[in-house]
Structure 1
Amino acid sequence: MSTGTTRTVMHDADIARALTRISHEILESNKGPQDLVLLGIPTRGVTLANRIGGLLADIAGVGVPVGALDVTMYRDDLHRNPTRTPQPTQIPAGGIDGKTVVLVDDVLFSGRSIRAALDALNDIGRPAAVRLAILVDRGHRELPIRPDFVGKNLPSARSERVNVHLAEVDGIEEVTIES
């Protein structure tokens, strides 16, 4: 239970704009949709990956494979945090070997989830390149991980909490910060 204040830093239109920009940047960086695979990190990263996949199809006129990559069992902090229920990993039929994989997540904080995702990818195949798309980068990295595509940089204190709420998961569309 929070006793501090909560303020909304992104509304639904801001999120939509950020995802559209990220989608264009992905296409530009990859020089088109060929050999792209989007893998969302559960829970909200999967929703964001599906949205970006839809936007890429609208922009490029070609569908991009979208999947999910659960990193729960690859995390290095399972002993400190209650174990989350693993979600299914779903790799598109074409696999990831030789492809440019774009990992998609909602918030980048310490970088530990992304490190876990890189470990999980190693068990699945060998992509040609791995890129990172993040809706909110809040800083405070503990590992040398930097996103390639960012919806919003949101400087925050370590004590603050950034919450991403998406309509498909939460019934509301916003990003809030709690102090």
Structure 2
Amino acid sequence: MGTRTVLQQPDITRALTRIAHEILEANHGASDLVLLGIPTRGAVLAERLASLLADIEPEWAAERDQRLGTLDVTMHRDDLGHGIGRTPHRTTIPTSGIDGKVVVLVDDVLYSGRTVRAALDALQGIGRPRAVRLAVLVDRGHRQLPIRADHVGKNLPTASDERVTLRLTETDGTDEVVIEQPGDDA
């Protein structure tokens, strides 16, 4: 058994740059676009995407801070009663709000789809976006709900007993995606 690194810092940067371009292309520019990162690493990725969008699109650069936020999904998760402890994070809604906007939810790894379902539930209490899209760095498959990402950095087929871990410089001191095999102590 072991751990293998599947993405390193240059790979992550390339994937996020591509996702930023895809978001702008799908939206026909930056008009009415809002990014909401799902804490913890999804929020970091949303920050990085916001910076990339600002480099590409002058309209986004001028309004970056009014279009970037975080969406805590802790209280909307369906596993709260199963003894899985989760620390709530702060939800920060951009000053422009989300009503009538195209909201791009940003998360790190898409697996079962339950976090995204919780995010959709959380959005209902905040406003009514025109559209909701999903951007993830890694889609590892094994969905339990009919949810798919609109923008994917890397499709990474895995076994259901493997663990995919994203580490980011801002939270972990390094940028990498690793697959940990069952029985690893990592």
How high is the TM-score relative to the length of structure 2? 0.93
| Cα distance in 2 for residues equivalent to 1:85 and 1:24 | 33
Q: What does the per-residue CA deviation read over 1:103-130, in whole Å, with 9 as the maximum and x for residues that have no partner?
A: 0000000000000000000000000000
1:28 aligned partner: 25
1:31-110 superposed matches below 5 A: 31-63=28-60, 64=64, 65-110=67-112
| Cα distance in 1 for residues equivalent to 2:124 and 2:134 | 16
The count of aligned residue pairs is 176
Task: Return 5+ residue gaps in structure 2 as ranges.
Answer: 182-186
Deviation at 1:80, TM superposition (A): 2.0
Is 2:153 the partner of 1:156? Answer: no
Q: What does the per-residue CA deviation read over 1:12-44, in whole Å, with 9 as the maximum and x for residues that have no partner?
A: 000000000000000000000010000000000
Note if contact 1:56-1:62 (Cα within 8 Å) is conserved in structure 2: no
| Cα distance in 2 for residues equivalent to 1:143 and 1:14 | 28
Q: CA RMSD in A?
A: 0.7
Moved over 4 A (4+): none
SS at match of 2:177: strand
SS at match of 2:159: coil
SS at match of 1:84: coil
| Cα distance in 2 for residues equivalent to 1:9 and 1:79 | 34
Task: Return 5+ residue gaps in structure 1 as ranges.
Answer: none
Percent identity over paired residues: 66
Deviation at 1:164, TM superposition (A): 0.1
SS at match of 2:80: coil
Deviation at 1:79, TM superposition (A): 1.8
2:3 aligned partner: 6
Note if contact 1:40-1:68 (Cα within 8 Å) is conserved in structure 2: yes
Deviation at 1:83, TM superposition (A): 2.1
| Cα distance in 1 for residues equivalent to 2:158 and 2:90 | 31
| Cα distance in 2 for residues equivalent to 1:107 and 1:129 | 21
Cα distance 1:81–1:17, how it changes in 2: closer, same or farther (>3 A)? farther
How high is the TM-score relative to the length of structure 1? 0.97
